[in-house]
Amino acid sequence: MVSVERILQYGKLTPEAAEHTDNILPPNWPKEGIILFDNVSLSYDTEYEPALKDVSFMINSKEKVTALIDISILFYMYKQ
């Protein structure tokens, strides 16, 4: 019964904003660029061995990347 109740609750939720918006990028917005990782090593804590060791890769402009990027990589990018 819980699953039915949950479905009924979801049906009453206010819809969120659409994923696609018609925002226009400013004229000086970059049209090209890269993200470059060169020999990056990441660990979850200083007590542990690195989960990633000497990882190198490049993401080119307009290249599609899967959403399987670990939160550690995003955290590393934020710290830099």
Encode the chain (80 residues) as per-residue pLDDT tens digits.
677 888 888 888 887 777 776 777 788 877 788 888 899 887 777 888 888 789 898 888 877 776 555 666 666 666 65
Q: Is residue 44 part of a domain?
A: yes
| Predicted local distance difference test score (pLDDT) of residue 38 | 93
pLDDT at 80: 57
Kindly state whether residue 17 falls inside one of the protein's structural domains: no
Query: Total structural domains in the chain?
Result: 1
List the Cα angle 31/37/43 in 5-degree steps.
135
Instruction: Specify if 3 maps to a domain.
Output: no
Q: For residue 56, give both structure tokens.
A: 């190198």
Is 37 domain-assigned?
Answer: yes
DSSP string, 33-46: -EEEEEEEEE-SST
The backbone torsions φ and ψ at residue 42, rounded to the nearest 5 degrees and listed phi first, read -130, 140
Domain that holds residue 47: 30-80
The pLDDT assigned to 77 comes to 65
Amino acid at 26: P
Residue 58 inside a domain? The answer is yes
